[in-house]
């Protein structure tokens, strides 16, 4: 709206400029922002935690705009796909050593120097690109950070033929994630494993917790973050899973129609995230219905035998595994009894984003990135200043 139109409308109808600013913001929200050079912002204002403790409930400070509207659908919006190259350095195809017919796929931005590696596992039916936008936000705040976002078997571009794609047992997925981390280290010829922060959304939260509890990655793991999944509410939600799947469209006429459905249904409340992640959820197949050739890549209904196994015992493992613990939720009503008690005892850090949906990291990538970077910094062992050894003090002629 031009300045002349603003002035005319304001004079005639006594409409404030704030109203026009809000309308213009809706148009601007759907424009893909340029990704600036990464900035390692170590100021306290960039941190979501106001406490020096690595546990406790974290309440974001006002300057983080906790109640700001998530980016959403705007009039005149574009629904064009945003390529993965906008967010990651490279994609990897990694052949499984245990199952040579399985070829893992992942997206990688390598850590710089002694920077951490955020290893990210998506939820059921999603893909590694679910973490694309939050990955770029992490890099803005921690320029040395690396991000490894994997495609689980049966999802994304990971190739697991036949029944292999449907082997969705928790121990299989946990072993897959361990293998992908090791294969990535070998592929990139890293001399040693970087410090790792495991991050998992929904099903992915169960996978990273299981891997952390197993200890297979050793002391490389600084901590693990679980996004919007707890044992009690997850198992309760399984009862309505078939209803949800039956109400989803079987397919879409175009890729853009699939993106738009995710935004309008508020499955994903951020159009930039939807334009990035949704294309990987669909595959073109006009054999079943030529009018809706874009079909779901993953048959979630076929994974039903494994649903309960993903989440049973999750709370106990989450509280018992070694390393820092962070739980991000869209609502405190999701907490079960065991986690509520654990929170009262200060066993993990909790942050709640009530304005987000289930896909917290896609709805609010900036706030999620702030939480994850701050979580790493609170658990970064390289930042610890240890007292000098007694033997060193004696060599220096000092009395002890």
Summarised one tens digit per residue, pLDDT across range 111-125 is 999 999 999 999 999
Lowest mean pLDDT among 20-34, 170-184, 211-225, 251-265: 20-34
Residue 159: both structure tokens together: 């190739």
As a whole number of angstroms, the distance between CA 184 and CA 174 comes to 16
For residue 47, with 0-12 CB atoms within 10 Å meaning exposed, 13-18 middle and 19 or more buried, which class applies? buried
Percent share of the chain, pLDDT over 90: 67
Q: pLDDT tens, 187-199?
A: 999 999 999 999 9
Instruction: Give the pLDDT confidence score for residue 53 in this predicted structure.
Output: 38
Phi/psi of residue 45, each to 5°? Answer: -70, -20
Active-site residue among 126, 157, 202, 271?
A: 202
Angle between helices 365-379 and 132-141 (to 10 degrees): 50
For residue 159, with 0-12 CB atoms within 10 Å meaning exposed, 13-18 middle and 19 or more buried, which class applies? middle
Name the more confident of 57 and 278.
Answer: 278
Active-site residue among 167, 176, 210, 228?
A: 228
Residues 6+ apart with CB under 8 A from 172: 153
Assess whether pLDDT exceeds 90 at residue 346. Answer: yes
As a whole number of angstroms, the distance between CA 256 and CA 224 comes to 34
Assess whether pLDDT exceeds 90 at residue 135. Answer: yes
As a whole number of angstroms, the distance between CA 295 and CA 306 comes to 23
**Residue 358 annotated in active site:** yes
Q: pLDDT tens, 155-171?
A: 999 999 888 888 999 99
Active-site residue among 155, 262, 358, 361?
A: 358
Mean pLDDT score, 335-348: 92
pLDDT bin (cut points 50, 70, 90) of residue 201 is very high
Sheet with strand 56-58: strands edge to edge: 56-58, 349-352, 324-329, 221-227, 196-201, 117-121, 146-151, 103-109, 90-95
Name the more confident of 32 and 252.
Answer: 252
Assess whether pLDDT exceeds 80 at residue 319. Answer: yes
Give the length of the chain: 400
Residue 240: both structure tokens together: 């309505």
Q: Helix, strand, coil: what percent of the chain each, to 5? A: 45, 15, 40
Task: Determine the CATH number of domain 39-383.
Answer: 3.40.50.1820
pTM: 0.79
As a whole number of angstroms, the distance between CA 208 and CA 210 comes to 5
Angle between helices 17-28 and 3-13 (to 10 degrees): 140
Nearest one of 225, 202, 214 to 155, comparing CA atoms: 202
Q: pLDDT tens, 244-292?
A: 899 999 999 999 999 999 999 999 999 999 999 999 999 998 787 889 9
Lowest mean pLDDT among 196-200, 232-236, 311-315, 348-352: 232-236
């Amino acid at each position: 709206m031009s300045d002349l139109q603003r002035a005319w409308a304001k004079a005639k109808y006594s409409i404030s400029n704030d109203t026009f600013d809000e309308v213009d913001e809706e148009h601007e929200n759907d424009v893909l922002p340029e990704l600036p050079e990464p900035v390692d912002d170590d100021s306290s204002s960039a941190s979501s935690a106001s406490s020096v403790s690595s546990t406790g409930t974290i309440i974001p400070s006002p300057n983080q705009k906790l109640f700001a509207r998530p980016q959403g659908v705007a009039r005149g919006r574009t629904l064009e796909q945003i390529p993965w190259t906008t967010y990651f350095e490279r994609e990897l195809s990694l052949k499984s050593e245990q199952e040579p017919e399985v070829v893992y796929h992942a997206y990688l931005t390598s850590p710089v120097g002694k920077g951490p590696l955020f290893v990210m596992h998506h939820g059921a039916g999603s893909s590694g690109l679910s973490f694309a936008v939050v990955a770029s936000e992490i890099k803005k705040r921690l320029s040395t950070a690396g991000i490894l976002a994997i495609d689980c078997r049966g999802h994304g571009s990971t190739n697991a033929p036949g029944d292999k794609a449907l082997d969705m047992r928790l121990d299989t997925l946990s072993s897959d994630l361990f293998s992908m981390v090791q294969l990535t280290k070998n592929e990139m010829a890293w001399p040693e494993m970087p410090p790792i922060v495991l991050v998992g959304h929904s099903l992915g939260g169960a996978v990273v917790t299981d891997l952390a509890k197993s200890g297979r990655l050793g002391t490389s793991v600084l901590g693990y973050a679980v996004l919007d999944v707890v044992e009690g509410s997850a198992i309760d939600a399984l009862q309505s899973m078939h209803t949800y799947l039956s109400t989803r469209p079987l397919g879409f006429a175009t890729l853009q129609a699939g993106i738009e459905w995710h935004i309008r249904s508020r499955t994903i409340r951020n159009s930039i995230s939807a334009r990035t992640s949704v294309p990987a959820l669909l595959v073109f197949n006009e054999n079943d219905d030529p009018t809706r050739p874009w079909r779901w890549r993953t048959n979630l209904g076929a994974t039903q035998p494994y649903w309960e196994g993903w989440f049973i015992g999750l709370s106990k493992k989450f509280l018992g595994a070694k390393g820092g613990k962070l739980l991000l939720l869209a609502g405190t009503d999701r907490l079960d009894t065991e986690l509520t008690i654990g929170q009262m005892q200060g066993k993990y850090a909790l942050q709640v984003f009530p304005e987000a949906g289930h896909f917290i990291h896609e709805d609010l990538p900036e706030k999620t990135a702030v939480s994850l970077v701050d979580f790493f910094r609170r658990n970064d062992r390289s930042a610890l200043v240890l007292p000098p050894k007694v033997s060193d003090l004696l060599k220096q002629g000092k009395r002890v």
